[in-house]
Structure 1
């Protein structure tokens, strides 16, 4: 890698080789099913365009999933040729653009289905789309009971084509019983279409956790998000450690201060030194995505040692107690997420410090943090 000038002295390194390797592993697990990399939310903070390009060019990925039209356009404008499915929010007024740019919408309501059908009929163009069914997530989707009406709409409109049927698991990897219930409901939807003589197209249900735990959930395609980036969707999955974390978050020491006992540190003075201490100020803060709740709870790695974050996290800075790490000095590398000298902080561990999930940690790393590949 060529030398990089870090203007803010906090950055993320993204290992595209690791993402390609994870894709290959997930493809083996999926067997005959396709893998649809989920690159919404800027590929979970890893960079949607570089990730999609690496997977399309090096792993021959032929389909991607995003959240919205703007994310889809970003990929197409960057030269991504693969099929792109829009998981949420498509409307009939977008039909011309969806068709022109070869985007496949996932429709979650009868209203949008009817309106898209009317627009396709008005334009006299054949338009393909996927349907999403709510089988237990209680978030988005047609109800199981609406499958019959959806089928009627397709039968009566020659300009609409069902090219896929999907659902989303709520507790895959946590509850096999609830996952089985969702699968039972989903299969009843598929049966409704088939009994009506309607081809379901590509059937996709599995997320990362379901792909790794439920063979019967793989169908034609699995939508893999968090596992693609090397993060276990549940702590007990991937026990052999095959998945490779792809993102490392790094910062640097700006200054080291020698403080006497009894000195308050940072806003509010919530942390007070209990002994003569060396406190390092590090160039990262909540404006970069390093959460304010990590003050007094988080740790960083400097010179191969885990050291506590003390005092309140500021907008641009954090403080770490380096008293027990002799030699720490200005310019030293600080690992926020990553591994050095056998010592590691994972996104999952950081999430545990504030009772959240690694998805949120990765997606919260802000645009002020440049990604280097």
Structure 2
């Protein structure tokens, strides 16, 4: 565990982001995606705060193990949990968890649907159905809607608790991208088939973060924000002007300078003996790929006390070298705090763009060796 490196998570900024979200989607219920340890921010504290302080009542996980952890560690939580992908529905142990811990599996293939409908224990359990409208990953193909409807009615059911699908290209324009327009059309037609058959749709959702920040999919009962709740945009750089999102990064990543020295252009640096790109000074910071500070960050520019530095040479397991051109080592004091990213989404996205890494990965890669510190 690091002593002076930490990921600080400001939950008051999560609250601020939730307020901004509700300005975009004031009439929608929120199903907050907290999978993958809340995108690296700590699933339990983020969920606890979101439920008790923000009033969010529905959360999404990727696995049944994540859902069980939420139930066990927030026993007083009166919220719904959905398992979206690794449902393991046919395992006896999983069935017991769903039934005993009020966890809802998202049914996304026909074999799971058949099992769900034919298993007596699930007779009165909420049916949550995911259809594939073009993502081509998980989801029952929407061309089989009539077959599914027939199965549901023969089973004696007259409602679907939650009908959903998922955009494949929400990082692109929602108002002009053909894929997005086609998926919206197909989901609308899918809903109508259920309604025309006499099956009530209690809840519907389609939009993930990229779609929400463009104001798309708000005619459904629910939205499913994930990344945006933690600050960043989901849109690729050329389309970010289309975003209505002004979220603040709820986390900051800081470390400490553990060595500094002057250096001449061409001097070999670290593993691989990478030549120094100029004359200046090197700061060695106490973060490496063992902390989730990726080797992809070589060449990324970082700011320190108003000076612009650049990751020089390979990132090591336990440290990295930041080169400051035309600066002196005396300006980089051993023991000084070094902020890798602060609460500015703009600064964080600059790191992502320069390293050609999506923000999801940057967050999730931060390892347990870097303590998470929460403030409200």
TM-score normalised according to structure 1 size: 0.90
The answer as to whether partners of 1:92 and 1:115 remain within 8 angstroms in 2 is yes
1:27-52 CA-to-partner distances (Å, cap 9, x unmatched) read 23212210111111111111111111
Counterpart among 271, 283, 294 of residue 275 in structure 2: 271
Pair 1:69 & 2:64 matched: yes
Structure 2 residue matching 1:87: 3-state secondary structure: strand
Gaps of 5+ in 2: none
**Farther-moved stretch of structure 1 (190-199 vs 323-332):** 323-332
Structure 1 residue matching 2:224: 3-state secondary structure: strand
After superposition, the Cα gap between the structure-2 partners of 1:232 and 1:218, relative to the gap in structure 1 and judged at 3 Å, is farther
Residue 141 of structure 2 is matched in structure 1 by 143
Structure 2 residue matching 1:351: 3-state secondary structure: helix
Shift of 1:159: 7.3
After superposition, the Cα gap between the structure-2 partners of 1:7 and 1:130, relative to the gap in structure 1 and judged at 3 Å, is same
Compute the RMSD of aligned alpha carbons.
2.2
Separation of aligned partners in 2, 1:370 and 1:25: 28
The answer as to whether partners of 1:347 and 1:362 remain within 8 angstroms in 2 is no
Q: Greater relative contact order (Cα 8 A, min sep 6): structure 1 or 2?
A: 2
Residue 283 of structure 2 is matched in structure 1 by 280
The answer as to whether partners of 1:107 and 1:130 remain within 8 angstroms in 2 is yes
Pair 1:10 & 2:5 matched: yes
After superposition, the Cα gap between the structure-2 partners of 1:240 and 1:192, relative to the gap in structure 1 and judged at 3 Å, is closer
Shift of 1:283: 0.3
Structure 2 residue matching 1:42: 3-state secondary structure: helix
Shift of 1:300: 2.5
Residue 307 of structure 1 is matched in structure 2 by 309
Shift of 1:134: 0.9
Structure 2 residue matching 1:64: 3-state secondary structure: strand
After superposition, the Cα gap between the structure-2 partners of 1:116 and 1:124, relative to the gap in structure 1 and judged at 3 Å, is closer
Q: Superposed, which structure 2 residues align to 1:113-192 within 5 Å?
A: 113-119=113-119, 121=120, 123=121, 125-158=123-156, 162-175=160-173, 176=175, 177-192=178-193
1:212-253 CA-to-partner distances (Å, cap 9, x unmatched) read 224444400000011111111224258677311111111110
Counterpart among 293, 296, 316 of residue 290 in structure 1: 293
Separation of aligned partners in 2, 1:16 and 1:148: 45
Gaps of 5+ in 1: 1-5
TM-score normalised according to structure 2 size: 0.89
